[in-house]
Amino acid sequence: MDKFVVRGGNPLLGTIKVSGAKNSALPCMAAAILTEEEVVLENIPQVQDIETERKLLTSMGAEVELGYGRAQHRTSIKCAILSDPVAKYEIVKTMRASSLVLGPLIARTGIARVAMPGGCAIGGRPIDLHIKGLEAMGATVTYDHGYLEARVDRLKGAHIVFDKITVTGTEDLLMAATLADGETIFENCAREPEVTDLAALLTAMGAKIEGAGTSTIKVQGVSSLHGARHRINPDRIEAGTFLIAGAITGGDLNVDCCEPEHLSALIAKLEQMGVKLDVGKDHVRVRSGGGPLKAADISTEEYPGFPTDMQAQFMALATQAEGTTTVTENIFENRFMHVSELNRMGANITVSGRTATVRGKSDLQSAAVMCSDLRASAALVLAALVADGESILDRVYHMDRGYERLEEKLRGVGAQIRRMGDVFGKR
């Protein structure tokens, strides 16, 4: 298993570029199932989850080309024949977002067999709302040896009110509804930019969608969709991680090729903490100026609220602020795995239920720490960038799921970070 070796102390200076959003690219790749024609996606991030999705689509019979170049990262997907509409456990177990193929598979082929994704380090993560929605659209769902099987002649339009806001649930059912017979109305939808990005691709493929980005989405089903070309949005979570990297190291960092509008909840909190930001059209420059950071509480919420995917990184920053910060996690029940590792580095954080209390101004020290999930790993990198001495982060495969060449990008702006392969272990 690879490790990162990080020596703290350098302010990050210069320009760092944001890649395409993993959480947009994954549903957009799944959307290619909906047509026999070619779907081309640009600005695909070079991360492990995309490789997993390629494997998943290929295992079903799709032709997938994935190319990473200096100027362009793109994939072209052609699902002319889906000979095996099954999402196998071996693939699904490594990536929960595999459940995104459920809706498009049943809509296109009338049958989908998908391994149940199971829980993960951040909580239980059920998909009951995806299933309930498909049943409302006429599908019959059965379970067999850890697999869910859904069948239908043709999905029919329905009125679906989500009991709880779900991002991939909204995306999954939105894809299903594009080929359903009649109109589907969704209420209490996720409003995340990734849903809007997917809807833009589906519309380019010929779908009839109104209201994406709001809590009510209307879809008029069509009999078939066609190929399209689409550019994936910048990754707002990677961009946010870089903003915090600039702020925590007291640097002067220009986070380029991002969409500042998607970062507004984080930007507001950073400004409240006293971080100086210049917000441009497609970049945000963080100029810390070495001034003190002040504590600011956060509470995670669905978009446009403060994202749960930025909670761990924000907590790393809070360890350096003057005063006490409370961090409340409202989306996932077990997303504080980074706390014990941050405390091992000298942070002073206590957890009670859904709330963590961070007593700031800790002098962080280097340590050997373990990455437990994607964003927890990012928080440990951020802490290590300001810790005294050399930290070793184990299990960076979690990070590789969603950050493109993180160590190279950070090195490019002055961080001392390198990857070390483990000769005794393998991923």
Ligand X SMILES: CC(=O)N[C@H]1[C@@H](OP(=O)(O)OP(=O)(O)OC[C@H]2O[C@@H](n3ccc(=O)[nH]c3=O)[C@H](O)[C@@H]2O)O[C@H](CO)[C@@H](O)[C@@H]1O
Q: Nearest approach, Cβ of 237 to ligand X (angstroms)?
A: 7
Give yes or no for residue 259 binding ligand PEP (CB under 6 A).
Answer: no
* Residue 126 interaction partner, one of ligand X, ligand PEP, none, beta carbon < 5-8 Å per kind: ligand X
Q: Nearest approach, Cβ of 315 to ligand X (angstroms)?
A: 15
127 is in an annotated binding site: yes
Closest by CA to 238, choosing from 403, 409, 23, is: 403
Contact 420, 391 (CB under 8 A): no
* Residue 167: Cβ within 10 Å count: 19
* Residue 29: Cβ within 10 Å count: 28
Contact 152, 138 (CB under 8 A): yes
- Cα-to-chain-centroid distance, residue 321: 26
Q: Nearest approach, Cβ of 123 to ligand X (angstroms)?
A: 6
Q: What is the DSSP string of 164-176?
A: S--HHHHHHHHHH
426 is in an annotated binding site: no
Give the residue, chosen from 96, 130, 262, 283, that forms a contact with ligand PEP under the rule CB under 6 A. 96
Q: Find the binding residues for ligand PEP in span 294-353 (CB under 6 A).
A: 309
Give yes or no for residue 23 binding ligand PEP (CB under 6 A).
Answer: yes
Of 134 and 386, nearer to ligand X (C-beta) is 134
106 is in an annotated binding site: no
Which positions ≥6 away from 92 have C-beta within 8 Å? 56, 98, 99, 114, 115, 116, 117
* Residue 402 interaction partner, one of ligand X, ligand PEP, none, beta carbon < 5-8 Å per kind: ligand PEP
Using CB under 6 A, list all residues that contact ligand X: 23, 26, 96-97, 123-130, 164, 166-169, 194, 308-309, 331-332
Give the residue, chosen from 44, 402, 406, 407, that forms a contact with ligand PEP under the rule CB under 6 A. 402
The helix-helix angle for 337-344 and 374-386 (nearest 10°) equals 20
Catalytic residue among 28, 79, 120, 258: 120
Residue 281 Cα distances to 8, 267, 285, angstroms: 31, 14, 11
Q: Find the binding residues for ligand PEP in span 192-251 (CB under 6 A).
A: none
Q: Nearest approach, Cβ of 390 to ligand PEP (angstroms)?
A: 27
Contact 309, 351 (CB under 8 A): no
Tokens 């209390």 locate to 357
Q: Nearest approach, Cβ of 147 to ligand X (angstroms)?
A: 17
Give yes or no for residue 374 binding ligand PEP (CB under 6 A).
Answer: yes
Which positions ≥6 away from 311 have C-beta within 8 Å? 298, 300, 327, 329, 335, 375
- Residue 120 is among the residues annotated as catalytic for this protein: yes
285 is in an annotated binding site: no
Residue type, 105: L
Q: Nearest approach, Cβ of 252 to ligand PEP (angstroms)?
A: 27
3-state secondary structure (DSSP) of residue 44: coil
Contact 330, 297 (CB under 8 A): no
Of 105 and 127, nearer to ligand PEP (C-beta) is 127
Of 166 and 249, nearer to ligand X (C-beta) is 166
Q: Dihedral through CA 94, CA 97, CA 101, CA 103, nearest 10? A: 140
Of 256 and 373, nearer to ligand X (C-beta) is 373
309 is in an annotated binding site: yes
Of 23 and 319, nearer to ligand PEP (C-beta) is 23
Sheet with 63-68: list strands edge to edge: 63-68, 73-78, 38-42, 228-231
Annotated binding residues for phosphoenolpyruvate, written as ranges, equal 22-23
Annotated binding residues for UDP-N-acetyl-alpha-D-glucosamine, written as ranges, equal 96, 125-129, 309, 331
Q: Active-site residues: which are they?
A: 120
Note the residues at the interface with ligand PEP (CB under 6 A). Answer: 23, 96-97, 309, 374-375, 402
